[in-house]
Amino acid sequence: MIAEGPDIMPTETSFVGSYERTVDQQGRIKIPQEVRDSLPADADDTFVVTRWLDGCLAAYPHDQWQAFSESLRQRREISRNLIRLITAFAVISRIDPQGRISIPPKLLEAADIDGAVLLVGTLDKVELWNPNRFEEAVDQAKDDFDDVIGDLSLIDDVDGDMLEPANGSG
């Protein structure tokens, strides 16, 4: 079940939680006040939005996009074609006075977003999802959740009991 209400809680440009919104006829989405308030000055009230993994869109604060772009430049193993796929669809969208960003139809269509949109904080960016597609992605990920969390050595069972710190202190 998707949480309702203003649940994206950014901390030092670290976004978590989710928020349901509507895309208007002009492709505008209102960004939650909590997200807008947390943007660093370097982001200049601007997001870079592009196609992303699993059929969603990624909205990077402008300063985070700059860091992400630089990391792509530094990694020689990333193919030119992958960089093209990421950057060819990217658009710069400044938050308007009503707190909205505009997303072109080609991006909304790529993510199958029409009407309802779910904003999901993923630490350094906010993903924009078709709510049904998000639920499908979450359902698929549930099978791997226990294994991945176990690999992180943070919990010892699915009930969430915390382990002692690995260095033995505490």
User: What CATH number did the domain enclosing 87 receive?
Assistant: 3.40.1550.20
- 127 DSSP β-pair partners: 58, 120
The token pair at 147 is 């294994």
Over the range 127-146, which residues count as b (16 or more CB within 10 Å of their CB) and which as e?
A: bbbbeebbeebeeeeeeeee
Kindly tell me the sign of the dihedral angle through the C-alpha atoms of 39, 42, 44, 49: negative
Number of structural domains (the chain) is 1
What digits encode the pLDDT tens for the residues 43-81? 899 999 999 999 999 999 999 999 898 888 888 778 888
Question: What domain range includes position 121?
Answer: 18-130
Inside any domain, residue 115: yes
To 5 degrees, how large is the angle CA 7–CA 12–CA 13? 65
Inside any domain, residue 117: yes
Total-model pTM: 0.78
